[in-house]
């Protein structure tokens, strides 16, 4: 794990640790957060978001938005969250044509392939980069200008790294 308060690096996380990390972020991310996920194909972005969304409440089921671009999940607890796959987008202007401007009241907006639509994010959003360390482990870098979020995550980082 890194020493920069705006950045944490986790190395060689197993699948259970990845699940715990996603659940931890879901438990401390401020309402209204945008979560940017970047990483190569197969790095675990979709699996990470499945754990994230499943830990914030009850909903009808997780679906990858590869073809629809935007999936909106209505939670039994009375809020909604959005999952965007920007893989096929050239830039954020294409996202606006897909209905992004109607999502302002979402509890969370999570974007896979966020590097294609970086103009929608602010420095206080949560940026997660995943890379393959081995067939069963991943490296994860998390950055945010939200000092409170990063401090909370840093407090839980040792628990996540130790698990497994």
Q: What CATH number has the domain bearing residue 146?
A: 3.40.50.300
Contact 12, 18 (CB under 8 A): no
Q: Is residue 48 part of a domain?
A: yes
Distance CA 144, CA 56 (A): 20
Q: Is residue 113 part of a domain?
A: yes
In which order are the strands placed within the sheet that holds 70-74?
7-13, 138-143, 126-132, 33-39, 108-112, 80-85, 70-74
Q: Is residue 1 part of a domain?
A: no
pLDDT computed for residue 121 by the predictor: 92
Q: Is residue 2 part of a domain?
A: no
Tokens of 25: 């972020």
Q: Is residue 155 part of a domain?
A: yes
pLDDT computed for residue 69 by the predictor: 81
pLDDT computed for residue 148 by the predictor: 94
H helix intervals, the chain = 15-28, 45-56, 92-97, 147-162
pTM: 0.88
Between the alpha carbon of residue 136 and those of residues 98, 128, 144, the distances in Å are 35, 19, 26
* Total domains, the chain: 1
* Residue span of the structural domain in which 95 resides: 7-162
What does the angle CA 10 – CA 54 – CA 139 come to, to the nearest 5 degrees?
A: 15
pLDDT computed for residue 101 by the predictor: 67
Q: Is residue 105 part of a domain?
A: yes
Q: Is residue 49 part of a domain?
A: yes
Per-run averaged pLDDT (10 residues), the chain, 164 residues: 71 93 95 94 92 84 71 84 87 72 80 92 96 95 96 88 62
pLDDT computed for residue 146 by the predictor: 95
Tokens of 76: 């039994």
What does the angle CA 89 – CA 95 – CA 101 come to, to the nearest 5 degrees?
A: 170
pLDDT computed for residue 57 by the predictor: 78
pLDDT computed for residue 2 by the predictor: 45
Q: Is residue 24 part of a domain?
A: yes
pLDDT computed for residue 5 by the predictor: 62
pLDDT computed for residue 66 by the predictor: 64
Please list the residues that pair with 37 across neighbouring strands: 112, 128
């Amino acid at each position: 794990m890194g020493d920069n308060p705006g950045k944490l690096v986790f190395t060689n996380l197993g699948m259970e640790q990845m699940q715990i990390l996603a659940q931890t972020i879901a438990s401390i991310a401020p309402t209204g957060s945008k979560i940017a996920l970047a990483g190569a194909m197969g790095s675990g972005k979709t699996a990470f978001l499945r754990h994230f969304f499943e830990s914030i409440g009850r909903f009808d089921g997780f679906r990858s938005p590869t073809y629809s671009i935007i999936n909106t999940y209505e939670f039994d607890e009375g809020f909604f969250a959005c999952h965007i796959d920007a893989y096929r987008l050239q830039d954020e202007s294409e996202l606006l044509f897909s209905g992004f401007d109607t999502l302002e009241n979402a509890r969370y907006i999570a974007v896979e392939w966020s590097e294609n639509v970086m103009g929608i994010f602010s420095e206080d959003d949560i940026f997660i980069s995943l890379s393959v360390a081995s067939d069963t482990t991943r490296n994860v870098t998390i950055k945010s200008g939200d000092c409170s979020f990063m401090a909370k995550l840093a407090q839980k980082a040792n628990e996540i790294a130790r698990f497994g």
